[in-house]
Structure 1
Amino acid sequence: MIISKDLFLLGDQDYLRLPKDDKRPRKIERLDNGVANPQEPPGCMHPLPAHRPIELTFTNLTVTLDDKRQVLRNISGVVKPGQVLAVMGPSGCGKTTLLNCLSGRTKLDSGCIHLNRERLNKRCKRRICYVLQQDVFFPDLTLRQTLEYAALLRLPDSLSRSQKMQYVDHIIDVLDLNNCQDTIIGDYMKRGLSGGEKKRANIACELLTNPALMLLDEPTTGLDSHSAYKLMMSLKKYAEKEGKTIVVTVHQPSSQIFHMFDKLLLICNGQTAYFGDINKVVNFFSGIGMTIAPHYNPADFILEQVKGTEEMKQKIIAAAKRAQDDYYHQELLNLNCTCDKYLNNYRHNHNNSNDNYNCQSWPINAANGHICTAFSDSSTDSNEKCYTAITVNEDEVRTLWLDSQSHSSTSTSDEDFTWQWPTSFWTQFKVLSQRNFQEARPQMLSTLNWVQTIALGLLAGLLWFQLPRTEQSLHNIQGWMFFSTTYWMLFAHFGTLSSFPPEREVINKERQSGAYRLSAYYLAKMVGELPLTITLPAVYHLISYPMLGMHSFSTFFTLLLFLLLNTIVAQSVGFFVGAFCMDMQVSITISALYTLATQLFGGYLATNIPSWLQWMQYLSMVHYAYQNMQIVEFSDGELIKCDPVKSRYTVCDNSTSGVIPASDIVNAQGASFPLWLNTVILFGFLIVFRLLGYLVLRFIRKPK
């Protein structure tokens, strides 16, 4: 909506148009009547400004999948603010595909989608909320925590924390979630919210941004009749009270729910079987000889008809096409935005054989004052730009035609607009770090993991208890080092591997809704989970190393740092593999091969490595951590004494001191580097795999 050449509406705020190199938004807060107001009334129940109501129009949508199967063919419809459109049809008819199209997630073969008079573009998508059929949440967070984090991320920084929490309270009250707000979400292993409560929680997360258009995919699936009715009643009241536009796909609703809807779009074989008012669908089927029995659910009846024989389906589709044309003529809405068809219809209706029509001679209904603003691109005859009908006076035709041309250049190009995230990078990073920490803590620091860590630390300490610093005990000391590095490598790697796939679904959903930057999430995940990642290895080291025979605090802390560094590197590798491999079995297989190879070439299990395989040592993260632990342990304190009978080290034969230098011990196990270089290589592993994980999420596994 263009107010002036320097002002355009963006989402829930108004911004002045800026030069491309000027990133500063100049915000003007507005009242509901559209008048600029420099101050918002304090204590408002709805801290977000009201969106402009949206009229959704979709025209001749056609979609073909990769297997060349046409899922949708020439689907059209219109939904006005305050109305609820039900999309019904048999399983596999294309209901979810239609919602994906309306949300901009599926590419169209042909057709156009408009919100008011603006063609669907990147900016428009920010005003749409899409509630998926699957309820995707972090299971260990409570309902209130989930909504609070969503509010902190998706509501603008101009609102204080108390205002955001006030809005959370309002949404909880609207959707009647007060009694379960402190219950965890839960999953198949942990009992939490019921099915109906999860559905309402899913909707609540999307309502936080005060969207103008809501798309809901099968919100009543899996609910009992009472829960489904209660949910749909909440949505109906919300649409009427707030002036929202709602599109819902339903499979087979009860009669009570069916009569709540304002409009119905019935799909059969990917085509329109009926579109119109919900209270006229029975008359439509009666008009083609399909009469409903008394006291019969209309939803059940119409689904039975569209599941009938192929002849019956074609009869319904043909009747729907005739009724659809009549409906559009009566409502004076052009849902087929092609110049040729409009002109041909106009010629036919007025018995005019004049061929000198052009796309700027539009048919005008003087009584109702409607005009179709479809036009052909003068530069490319094959390209068409589509706009829905608008109501004008006859004297205003030329003015609005020029305005439509100006508006088309604005709405179809995103180059002039810089999307402003709802919150700053720092806010996103801070909130996501807190959420990652709170969500991962129950799993990473579970009671089972604590028991396992303490028991393993005691067992390792008892097994290698107070080993003497002699050559005979050298292999046992090295055994403790190698065991510690490999165990915590596997623990961190496979722990990340198993926890990331469920989290990926939540992240994809939030990224699709534009909640935060991927870079903010990625950095917050590394920082937020870092304390949890290092806690258990530190406790293990604190228990086992003193029992081994600690001789200095500096050695204790240095060994701990290298153990933790190796653990964090292993976590990075697990995150990369988990992000890259969609199949869990494939990721486990790849991880098993890599971690086993890392152990084999670590320098402890095999020392006589063939020359043609020695390069594999340089790819083993354990190799560098294990080397550093040996250098630190054997260079400080009491040195290792040579075997007086038969030593494996030549230095013992020529030395009078009778001790083995740390360099000889390390060199005996293959290629070795100095301490600083091993540390640099470990940090290189860390940076490379973290960066690869980000690139995979950014370019390969981005949500569609």
Structure 2
Amino acid sequence: MRTAVELGLAFIFLGCWKGAHGLPWWCASKHWLGRESSTKSATAPRVRGSITSGWPRRRPLSVQFNDVTLCIGKKPILQRVCGSCRPGELMAIMGPSSSGKTTLLNTISGRLRPTSGTITIAGEPLNKRHKRQICYVLQDDIFYANLTLRQTLMYTALLRLPDSMSHQDKMSLVDHIIHLLDLQRCQYTNIGEVMHRGLSGGEKKRANIACELLTNPSIMLLDEPTSGLDSSTAHSLILTLKQFAEKEHKTVIVTLHQPSSQIFYMLDRLLLLCNGQNAYFGETKKVIEHFSNLGLPIAPHYNPADFILEQAKGSPEVQERLILGAREGLGLNFNMQDSVKLQTSPSMNSLYSKYLGLPTVHTSDRSTNPYPRDSNCTSCLNRCQEYSKRCPTDASVPTDVNKKTSEIYSEMVDGAEEDSGRSSWSEETVSEASGCSSMCEDYPNMQWPTSFFTQFKILTRRNFCVARPIILSWLNGTQTLILALIAGLLWYQAPRTEESLQDLQGWMFFSANYWMLFILFAALQSFPAEREVIAKERASGSYRVSAYYLAKMVGELPLTFILPTLYFIISYTMMGWDNPATGLMLLFMLLLSTLVAQSVGLLIGAVCYDLQTGITVAAIFTLFTQLFGGYLATRIPPWLSWARYLSIVHYAYQNMNIIQFTYGLEIRCSTMNSRFNSCVEYSQSDSGTHYIPVDEILQERGEPLSLWANSTLLIGFMIVVRLLTYVTLRYLHRPK
């Protein structure tokens, strides 16, 4: 017994010990990782071609979107938005709040389907294959808070880079990305959260970008990368993105809210949105000239970014001037509604006669206009090329606006979980004019970047390292030790007599109930805490849901057993250990009931998005299962007797009674006023010592099922609940 206690305490000590660089020994050990983690200097040389051997290279890809319209219900969010960006360019989407910047970015990435219009990648309609070459950096920095920056990048590389790359090459790539984004000094710092400081805001932004750069995307989409950063950090971040676009020949599109003048002039292209429509698209250096031609000159020494945003938020007349001016610059005609508006508004007619000369261009010479004024949808890509002089010559495939859903997205509906990055880093580039056949050869039709086994193995390690400091926190450990000592003292060396029978049953009922509550509410908070991270990774197609769910169960399994085992060893030893077989069987039943409770907590956490709702549902369930557990109430009305079979405590408590009183020490009858018939009969016959039959003890709490029946029902209940949890994760909460 002493040896078992010492081994348990030693394992707890090892669980709390951290190795080099603050990593737990099982996370840092080369035996646990399977291979020795790379510990190269952050100033490692640039990744060589050996890393990409055997894996296709990324081609530079351009992005064009033409007449993109998106309506949610009857409300238009985007209206005929046009634009394009070439490899090596940094394009910004700007506009006031609620102007559609993030919506447009979601549409370009394929996460939202436009009502009409076309989005082409290198001249091809956007499809699932292109999503492998697009990375999307969200505005919020979503990470596991208790992992270090290097651990985060390491697990991302192991999950999203192909199995054909060696472990050493993947770790070398991590070193290269850390060096590229200047993250050497903070690579062993925890990500952190509000209550536990870790990385700074700028470091989190760069870490967010680093996770996406690992897949070597051809197109980078970043939503508000400078939000929450000071001007110096924001400038450094945008400069890094610009240099990355130029040196690596990538297409980078960002949304910006209110950049400084330094950041503004670093942009190659600018798309200004106003009420979901083009207010300007073209070279950034020409925006001031364009606004001056519209009669909106900028004052000297004024930030041009602030100026154009103020105009986009100006009066309705100014907004109309910007929208029509942008259409004129792009060579777009006006639809029938625009024509009626101009004809019925004298003030607006005079306004645009002064600044744009619209009557002579669009009304007096209709015969020369190739696009009739009442057309519902026109192709503007060729006009965009004439305006910017920098668009590639890829042809765009128009979409019929009479169809509510664009045909180019019909192929993407069933692929919401496709991977957005499945290639390794490559310094070499291939000409964009290589065509579709080359693209198909370079990017084979792989559904996942890694195999199921690889995903399961890596996710098991990560879930173990994520859950360890939460489950084995010093607070939980202290709570368990104190409670075990209190329980041991309360039932210290309880005699095996009829007078102490209720005390023995009280310990069993309390132990089963306490660990049901502890594990259930801990599991309840597990999915809500991880939901954003999992949704982000699922949207990028990093792994299968089944691999994540199985890895979560397996990775947390040993951690779930440690604290209940420690409590049992301390409290049951102090109460009086009968024999090793009885103790091990009781421990097994306690651990089985905790697994069932954990299953229920996971299901409630997966179904209930709102944590407060989940806590309420969990409280009702736990109170229900306690009331019908068989200890607090034995005389249950017949019309409620069915409820006990839904109580997990009922089965666990029955089995613990069966084990304790069948295989443990016998319970002596009371010498006076015994409540058991057999003891009364024995006391009348002679004065010897008699023991209570096991059947009478068990039947006092109702008609029990057998030990194997109770265990089978508990295991079946656990399997069904866990399958329901998987179905909920897989189908109910799919990322959009």
The TM-score range, normalised by the shorter chain, is 0.7 to 0.9
Match of 2:603 in 1: 576
Match of 2:236 in 1: 230
> More deviation in 110-119 or 312-321?
110-119
Residue 418 of structure 1: how far off its partner (Å): 5.3
SS in 2 for 1:315: helix
Match of 1:20 in 2: none
Match of 1:28 in 2: none
1:157 to 159, 163, 176: 163
User: Does the alignment pair 1:591 with 2:642?
Assistant: no
Counterpart amino acid of residue 243 in structure 1: H
Match of 1:443 in 2: 470
User: Does the alignment pair 1:203 with 2:209?
Assistant: yes
Match of 2:666 in 1: 639
Q: Percent identity?
A: 54
Residue 614 of structure 1: how far off its partner (Å): 1.2
2:330 to 300, 310, 324: 324
SS in 2 for 1:466: coil
Residue 558 of structure 1: how far off its partner (Å): 0.7
Q: Which runs of 5+ in 2 are unaligned?
A: 1-46, 334-364, 373-378, 410-433
Counterpart amino acid of residue 697 in structure 1: L
Contact 1:155-1:422 within 8 A present in 2 as well: yes
1:622-648 deviation digits (Å, cap 9, x = unpaired): 110111111000001321122222222
Residue 104 of structure 1: how far off its partner (Å): 1.3
Match of 1:24 in 2: none
User: Does the alignment pair 1:189 with 2:195?
Assistant: yes
1:453/1:615 Cα in 2 relative to 1: closer, same or farther (>3 Å)?
same
Q: Which runs of 5+ in 1 are unaligned?
A: 1-39, 328-344, 353-358, 388-402
1:460 to 461, 483, 487: 487
Q: Distance in 2 between matches of 1:305 and 1:474?
A: 82
Q: Distance in 2 between matches of 1:351 and 1:142?
A: 57
Q: Distance in 1 between matches of 2:303 and 2:403?
A: 49
TM-score w.r.t. structure 2 length? 0.79
Match of 1:131 in 2: 137
1:284 to 290, 296, 301: 290
Q: Distance in 2 between matches of 1:629 and 1:186?
A: 42
1:541 to 562, 565, 568: 568
Residue 386 of structure 1: how far off its partner (Å): 7.8
Match of 2:15 in 1: none
SS in 2 for 1:529: helix
Match of 1:394 in 2: none
Counterpart amino acid of residue 139 in structure 2: Q
Match of 1:506 in 2: 533
Match of 1:666 in 2: 698
SS in 2 for 1:673: coil
User: Does the alignment pair 1:497 with 2:524?
Assistant: yes
Q: Distance in 2 between matches of 1:144 and 1:369?
A: 39
Contact 2:189-2:199 within 8 A present in 1 as well: yes
User: Does the alignment pair 1:55 with 2:55?
Assistant: no
Match of 1:348 in 2: 368
User: Does the alignment pair 1:118 with 2:130?
Assistant: no
Residue 658 of structure 1: how far off its partner (Å): 2.9
1:338-393 deviation digits (Å, cap 9, x = unpaired): xxxxxxx99836899xxxxxx9xx99x9x99979564799xx99998789xxxxxx
1:143 to 145, 149, 152: 149
1:491/1:300 Cα in 2 relative to 1: closer, same or farther (>3 Å)?
same
Contact 2:668-2:692 within 8 A present in 1 as well: yes
Contact 2:273-2:279 within 8 A present in 1 as well: yes
Q: Distance in 2 between matches of 1:501 and 1:452?
A: 24
Match of 1:336 in 2: none
1:689 to 703, 721, 726: 721
SS in 2 for 1:305: helix
Q: Distance in 1 between matches of 2:445 and 2:395?
A: 31
Contact 1:45-1:167 within 8 A present in 2 as well: no
Match of 2:260 in 1: 254
1:14-60 deviation digits (Å, cap 9, x = unpaired): xxxxxxxxxxxxxxxxxxxxxxxxxx986458996431111111122
1:668-688 deviation digits (Å, cap 9, x = unpaired): 213421000100111112111
Match of 1:699 in 2: 731
Q: Distance in 2 between matches of 1:674 and 1:433?
A: 36
Residue 661 of structure 1: how far off its partner (Å): 2.4
1:477-534 deviation digits (Å, cap 9, x = unpaired): 0110011111111110111112321211101100111111111110000000101100
User: Does the alignment pair 1:101 with 2:101?
Assistant: no
Contact 1:85-1:248 within 8 A present in 2 as well: yes
SS in 1 for 2:295: coil
> 1:358-397 to 2 correspondence within 5 Å?
374=397
Q: Distance in 1 between matches of 2:703 and 2:149?
A: 54
1:347/1:557 Cα in 2 relative to 1: closer, same or farther (>3 Å)?
farther
Counterpart amino acid of residue 181 in structure 2: L
1:141-189 deviation digits (Å, cap 9, x = unpaired): 0000000010011111111111000000000011000010010000001
Q: Choose between structure 1 and 2: higher helix proportion.
A: 2
2:677 to 628, 640, 650: 650
SS in 2 for 1:640: coil
1:566-610 deviation digits (Å, cap 9, x = unpaired): 111111111110011011110000000001101111011111111
Counterpart amino acid of residue 348 in structure 1: T
Q: Distance in 2 between matches of 1:670 and 1:271?
A: 72
Q: Distance in 1 between matches of 2:53 and 2:192?
A: 30
1:301 to 307, 312, 330: 307
Counterpart amino acid of residue 448 in structure 1: L
SS in 2 for 1:138: coil
User: Does the alignment pair 1:602 with 2:629?
Assistant: yes
How large is the RMSD of aligned CA atoms in angstroms? 3.0
Match of 2:586 in 1: 559
SS in 1 for 2:273: strand
Q: Distance in 1 between matches of 2:371 and 2:638?
A: 91
SS in 1 for 2:525: helix
Residue 564 of structure 1: how far off its partner (Å): 0.6
Select the structure with the greater relative contact order (CA < 8 A; seq sep ≥ 6).
2
SS in 2 for 1:659: coil
Contact 2:242-2:266 within 8 A present in 1 as well: yes
> 1:523-538 to 2 correspondence within 5 Å?
523-538=550-565
Residue 612 of structure 1: how far off its partner (Å): 1.1
Q: Distance in 1 between matches of 2:98 and 2:369?
A: 39
Residue 283 of structure 1: how far off its partner (Å): 0.7
Match of 1:69 in 2: 75
Match of 2:28 in 1: none
Counterpart amino acid of residue 53 in structure 1: P
Q: Distance in 2 between matches of 1:196 and 1:592?
A: 41
Contact 1:186-1:193 within 8 A present in 2 as well: yes
Q: Distance in 2 between matches of 1:316 and 1:613?
A: 71
Q: Distance in 2 between matches of 1:686 and 1:548?
A: 30
Q: Distance in 2 between matches of 1:89 and 1:570?
A: 50
Contact 2:144-2:533 within 8 A present in 1 as well: yes
SS in 2 for 1:491: helix
Contact 1:46-1:167 within 8 A present in 2 as well: no
User: Does the alignment pair 1:613 with 2:619?
Assistant: no
Equivalent pairs, count:
613
Residue 664 of structure 1: how far off its partner (Å): 2.3
